[in-house]
Every structure is written in structure tokens, then in C-alpha cells.
Amino acid sequence: MFNKPILIVPGQSKSIFFEIFFKSLKKKYRSPLILICNKENFLMNAKKFDFKKKINVTNFKELEKSIHKYKINIVNIEKSKRYTNHLNKEKDYIFRCFKTAFNILKKNITYKFLNGPINKKKFLNGKYIGITEFISKKFHQKNTGMLIYNENLSVCPLTTHLPIKLVSKNISKNLIQNKLKLINDFYLKIFKFKPKIAVVGLNPHCESVFKFNEDIKIVTPAINYAKKNKILVYGPFSADTIFLKQNRKKFNVILGMYHDQVLSPLKTLFEYDAVNITMGLPFLRVSPDHGPNEEMINKNISNPISLIKCLEFLDKN
């Protein structure tokens, strides 16, 4: 019996996903690959990038019995003809791809899920602030978190795609405590060790000119609570020095208060060598750590390393 398959939703039709997908297949993976996508779109891109590996077209009902180990398995999703507006047609297509993937996951055919990048502004309509939140809601999971994983150093933003003006209003002791426990439990389950976690303060130098200092009133008590629960957590640290070489090498994960506070330095250090993992789901969900890069379509110069890392992570777990 082969490894559990890797289930893949490429995402929106116009993106660099297929370019980096075909490039990533220069490496070998033990797990069969199942794409939930439009067959014609796949074949068009395969021709464009001179990809000649055989495919196995199947459907949801027959999938479990028809998975082929050495071919690219495709569950074909036809694009609806009931929409005349291109954007609405594309939204419908994307969400039907996700719906099919979720049904496959619920049938326990696999627990390995990867989705390609999606333009949040175009396709999520402000209903969800990101794909992490969209998937979490669909599986009724409230305590989930984004881990941008690199084996040398990972980061987790406490708040994900919130506008900066809303960050301070959404920070709480309970949220920090839950996120620290989530990180700790995920590392124990997947990587089999207890991580050392640094927490970054909200304010510059963890100081404030105002009477209410979030780092004293919220962040520090949450850290102290987590320490009592045997979590290896330290801080709060100033965001402008925690990523210095001598500081960052002491930790496995850095928990920041908002998205760019920790993702910007991590991407500066490792560029695309990172995997976007959603912790707290009943399956492993990953995504390349970048967007659809629509302006790079057809240039054939996009870097596949993040997708390769995603596939390698799912392949060995």
C-alpha cells in the first residue's frame, strides 16, 4: 500500500501555480498526487510547460479505488456555464474545488491537503480575512493558527491578515495563551519535540508613552501563564532585535503580534524557503508561502522552492 495521497487544489485559474507545480515535479515524492481542478486548464498548462507525464482522470465517487501511484490523478471540476461574469464564474469554480477537496478529507481518503495561492481581495469578498480562516470555519475549528515553517526558524502571527489599525483591539491574554499551546502541541505531535518559543511585544521596545501598555498588561501575563503550563516560552522581546542572529538561534518559533512583524524578517532571511501551515485542523494543511503572482504569469521565472517544501513536508508526514 502506498503513502496516503497529497490532495491539491491549485486555486485560481490565472496564477503561477501550474508553472511552479510542474517545476516541483522534477523531485520525486512517495505520495500519489491528486489535483482537484479543471482538466482542460491542467492540459493547457501542461502543454505550455512541456509536461508530458500521464494523467489519470477520475471523479469523487470513484476516487478511493482509482488512485494511480505513478500518474497525476485529476478529479475534474467543470466550470459552470450559469455565470456570464468571469469573476463570478471563477469564484464558483474555486469554491467547488475546495468543496470537493473538503468532502475527500471528510471521507478520510487522505489527511494531506495543499492549496495554491488565491487572491483574497478578489475571491473572499471580505467574508474571510484569509484562506486559513476560510478552511477553519468550514471545519468548525476556532483555535487554529498560521505557522510559517522553516526547519531553522518558524514564525506565527497572533493576528493574520488584519489591517494594522485593528491589531491592538484583537490582542488578548486568552488568544496568546491559546496560540502558545497550539504551537507547543503541534510541534510535539508533528516534530516530536517541545519547541522554544519567543514572543514579540506589540510596541516598539515593548514600551509605551501611554498609561496602558499592552506588553505589560496583556502579553507578559499570558507568557507567565504558559510557563506555568510547562511551555518553553520567553519574552516579550523587542521586534527590532529578536531576529538578530545571536537571538533568533535560541528559538524554534517566534510568535508575533501581527502578520508583517514576523513574516517580513522571516522572508528576508529565507525568501521562499518556507511552508505556510495551518495548525489546529483535523488534517495537515499547507500552502506555498507567497501569493498567486498574477503579474508573473507566462514568464516562466517563478521560484518553486516553497511548493517543493510543501510537498516534501506532506510527503514525509
- Supply the mean pLDDT for the chain: 93
- Mean pLDDT across 7-15: 92
Q: pLDDT tier at 293 (50, 70, 90 boundaries)?
A: confident
pLDDT exceeds cutoff 50 at 1: no
Q: Report the pLDDT value the prediction gives residue 2, as an integer from 0 to 100.
A: 65
128-179 pLDDT per residue, tens? 888 999 999 999 999 999 999 999 999 999 999 899 999 999 999 999 999 9
Q: pLDDT tier at 81 (50, 70, 90 boundaries)?
A: confident
Q: pTM to 2 decimals?
A: 0.94
* Residue that wins the pLDDT comparison between 292 and 117: 117
Residue written as grid cell 523587542: 238
Q: Report the pLDDT value the prediction gives residue 100, as an integer from 0 to 100.
A: 97
| All domains of the chain in start order, with CATH | 1-141+283-302 (3.40.718.10), 144-280 (3.40.718.10)
204-245 pLDDT per residue, tens? 998 877 788 999 999 999 999 999 999 999 999 999 999 999
CB 288 within 8 A of CB 307: yes
pLDDT exceeds cutoff 60 at 60: yes
Q: Report the pLDDT value the prediction gives residue 309, as an integer from 0 to 100.
A: 97
